[in-house]
């Protein structure tokens, strides 16, 4: 091909190159400090407003201090319970269950989602059932879970799975369904068949929907897990749910609220640091950033 370089009209090359540079205008990337600060300050502002509102309610003496303690004592207690109490153990137990249960939910949900999206029969049979399960509050499964598995970890995992699997499966299905047909045709023309079709075309195309499903699945897994832990109390094994229940029974409302703050912080951190970041990275790479919240 190099031999034809000489006869290649230089004018055409110059014109194409000129047009390309007119068409592609790349904005200068903002500095890292500015980018981090512009992402962080709204969150800091919202946090201080929430803490301020909490403090105002406490100052209004609507409830006595021992029932509704202010942010100062609660945050102090949170630190104390983490360092001196068994809150750290409780968090470790809950997070281990969350991780195990969520990984299982992702595997089951993904396999189920791909199967339903690709098979007409399965879709007709199971498709609407999955959406039905998704609308059912997972707490409603708890009594059945206790009947089936007694007061064991299996009951907690059962509730977590029925909470998270439908969201993840639906995410996969939506991702596959929303793939532009022209990309599938392009894949066929390029020779992507069998497993290669899934690896190079179908699954990457479904990734944004899949990520949305993973994020929603996590939210469902987290709340199902805590609901399960509140009811299914296993002796000598502190967890966040058990901590909430016990501190309430002992009228230790400061520790109860400290555990709540811990739950909130874990939820927020995973949502924005893990799922938020993943989603932004994927959407940005595909030029879809800004279309999602």
Check residue 174 for interaction with other proteins (CB under 8 A).
Answer: no
- Residues 169, 122: contact at Cβ < 8 Å? no
Minimum CB distance to other proteins, residue 213 (Å):
17
Compare residues 44 and 288 and give the one whose CB is closer to other proteins. 288
8 binds other proteins (CB under 8 A): yes
- Per CB under 8 A, the segment of 19-27, 74-82, 87-95, 158-166 that binds other proteins is 19-27
| Torsion angles phi and psi, residue 137, rounded to 5 | -60, 130
Q: Considering only the stretches 149-157, 178-186, 220-228, 273-281, report the one whose residues sit in contact with other proteins under the rule CB under 8 A.
A: 178-186
- What part of residues 224-283 is at the interface with other proteins (CB under 8 A)? 282
* Of 154-162, 196-204, 230-238, 265-273: span binding other proteins (CB under 8 A): 196-204
Residue 178 binds other proteins (CB under 8 A): no
Cβ proximity to other proteins, 192 vs 230, nearer residue: 192
Taking a C-beta distance cutoff of 8 angstroms, is the pair 142, 163 a contact?
Answer: no
* Residue 100 is a binding residue for other proteins (CB under 8 A): no
Task: Please name which of 204, 201, 210 lies closest in space to residue 182, comparing C-alpha atoms.
Answer: 201
User: Interface residues with other proteins (CB under 8 A)?
Assistant: 1, 4, 8-9, 12-13, 15-17, 19-20, 23-24, 26, 180, 182-183, 185-186, 188-192, 196, 200-201, 204-205, 207, 282, 285-288
């Amino acid at each position: 091909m190099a031999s034809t370089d000489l006869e290649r009209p230089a004018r055409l090359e110059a014109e194409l190159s000129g047009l390309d540079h007119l068409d592609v205008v790349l904005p200068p990337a903002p500095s890292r400090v500015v980018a981090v600060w512009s992402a962080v300050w709204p969150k800091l502002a919202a946090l201080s407003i929430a803490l301020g509102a909490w403090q105002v309610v406490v100052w209004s003496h609507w409830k006595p201090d021992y029932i509704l303690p202010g942010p100062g004592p609660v945050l102090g207690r949170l630190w104390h319970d983490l360092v001196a109490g068994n809150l750290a153990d409780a968090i470790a137990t809950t997070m281990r269950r969350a991780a195990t249960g969520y990984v299982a939910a992702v595997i089951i949900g993904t396999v189920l989602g791909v199967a339903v999206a690709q098979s007409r029969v399965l879709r007709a049979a199971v498709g609407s059932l999955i959406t039905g399960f998704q609308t059912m509050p997972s707490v409603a499964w708890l009594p059945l879970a206790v009947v089936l598995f007694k007061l064991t970890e299996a009951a907690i995992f059962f509730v977590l799975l029925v909470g998270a699997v439908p969201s993840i499966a639906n995410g996969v299905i939506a991702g596959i369904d929303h793939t532009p047909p022209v990309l599938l045709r392009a894949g066929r023309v390029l020779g992507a068949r069998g497993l290669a079709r899934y690896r190079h075309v179908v699954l990457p195309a479904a990734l944004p929907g899949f990520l949305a499903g993973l994020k929603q699945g996590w939210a469902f897994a987290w709340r199902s897990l805590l609901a399960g832990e509140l009811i299914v109390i296993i002796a000598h094994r502190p967890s966040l749910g058990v901590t909430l229940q016990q501190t309430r029974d002992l009228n230790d409302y400061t520790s109860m609220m400290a555990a709540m703050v811990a739950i909130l912080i874990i939820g927020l951190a995973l949502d924005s640091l893990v799922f938020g970041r993943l989603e932004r990275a994927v959407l940005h790479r595909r030029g879809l950033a800004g279309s999602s919240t």
